[in-house]
Amino acid sequence: MAAGEAILNRANIPTFPYPDTAARAFNYMWQYSYNLRGLYETPSIAEESAAWTPDRQLVDRVIQRSRGEGRTILTEFESKQVGNLRRVGNPPAEAIGRPRATSLGGACFSLPKAKASKARPRYTRPMSVLFRCVPAIAIFIALACAAHAEDPHFAVLISANAEWQVVKPLFPGAAIQKSPYGEYFFADVEHERVLFFHGGWGKVAAAGSTQYVIDHFRPARLINLGTCGGVEGRIKRFDVVAVEKVVIYDIAEAMGDSNEAIAEYSTTLPLPTSFPVPVVKATMYSADRDLTAAGLRELDASYQPVVVDWESGAIAWVAHKNGTPLLILRGVTDLVSPVKAEAEGNLQLFQDNTLRVMQTLLSGLPKWLATWR
């Protein structure tokens, strides 16, 4: 769908998120076009012929009489007489009932009530324009419906490169596409069409890619699957965490209170009422940094973290701002204690454990899709 929108936009063809928005925009377009034609429309004096000759003396008498009476506005009867000089298309003056005042000059009249007629009524111009627009409006609505009928109910966000390298081979038949942030594809998970999107690591990529997915794919729900570090003695390696709150803690405010800034970027996430697989509910502490033993000792002075990661805080904040429900599920790949961080300087450990964590999360995904709708 995003690729189709991009093609239409490059051709300067607008796209809309909902069919009613497309119909409303089209309505504005024809109203604007109609009004613009009216502003530029100037009746011209028709050429004289054997069939029609303007009564200029009558018009001169009407205007002189109006001026002689100190009037600057013609009556409706008089304005129709003047309008006949320009063949504006008004009904004959004799068909006019009680005179009503109109603007002098006869260039812009409201149609009067004419004598009753049994002839088939003629539609006014706005109605005829609308009828001519009906097929185009129908096309607009059809295109909008077709464009968004494929919007996925679920979008799964994957952040780290090591995590994506595990996910992609599990769907060998998927058609891989590219975005400004990374690759993505659609796959059927238990008869559910799901978007899998590689958003990139770190807060900047996580925030940007989350907004990109919301804007371009409009999922009803977001799920973030990934890895995290855990604090030894507070959680076990390979535990799956269902995040109920995220705190971005690497904010240092020198001009004010850092706690206020951290609170501004903290997000509470409603969790499903029941869990289809065993999980640990916890607050995720998020920052653009790996947690080391020294970092844990510093962090323990303000918080008592159980799990930490890089991207959850940004993803949660953007999803909350857009009103999009979000579920964050992350598995613990490595543990940190006040004296040692087992993955520090050991990338292979992280990669090996990421394989197990991501396989576990993806095996449980169908159950989460069925539970969290």
Cα dist from 38 to 35, 103, 310, whole Å: 5, 16, 59
Average the pLDDT over 148-174 and give the result: 88
> Which residues lie below 8 Å from residue 32, measured CB to CB, with a gap of 6+?
none
Q: Give domain status of residue 138, yes or no.
A: no
Q: Give domain status of residue 123, yes or no.
A: no
Minimum mean pLDDT range among 28-32, 123-127, 154-158: 123-127
Q: Print the domain residue range for 164.
A: 154-371
pLDDT of residue 56: 78
Burial grade of 92 (CB within 10 A; 0-12, 13-18, 19 or more)? exposed
- Residue-wise pLDDT for 56-72, tens only, equals 788 888 888 888 888 88
Cα 343 versus chain centre, distance: 40
- Residue-wise pLDDT for 208-249, tens only, equals 999 999 999 999 999 999 999 999 999 999 999 999 999 999
If pLDDT is split at 50, 70 and 90, which confidence band does 257 have? Answer: confident
pLDDT of residue 146: 47
If pLDDT is split at 50, 70 and 90, which confidence band does 281 have? Answer: very high
pLDDT of residue 147 exceeding 60:
no
pLDDT of residue 120: 44
Q: Give domain status of residue 266, yes or no.
A: yes
- Of 193, 192, 194, 195, the closest CA to residue 184 belongs to 195
pLDDT of residue 58: 83
Q: Give domain status of residue 110, yes or no.
A: no
Q: How many domains does the chain have?
A: 1
pLDDT of residue 197 exceeding 80:
yes
Q: Give domain status of residue 137, yes or no.
A: no
Q: Give domain status of residue 335, yes or no.
A: yes
Average the pLDDT over 340-369 and give the result: 94
For the domain that residue 241 is a member of, what is the CATH number?
3.40.50.1580
Q: Give domain status of residue 14, yes or no.
A: no
Q: Give domain status of residue 49, yes or no.
A: no
Burial grade of 337 (CB within 10 A; 0-12, 13-18, 19 or more)? middle
- Residue-wise pLDDT for 106-136, tens only, equals 444 343 444 444 444 444 444 444 445 555 5
pLDDT of residue 114: 42
Average the pLDDT over 48-53 and give the result: 69
d(CA 196, CA 167): 9
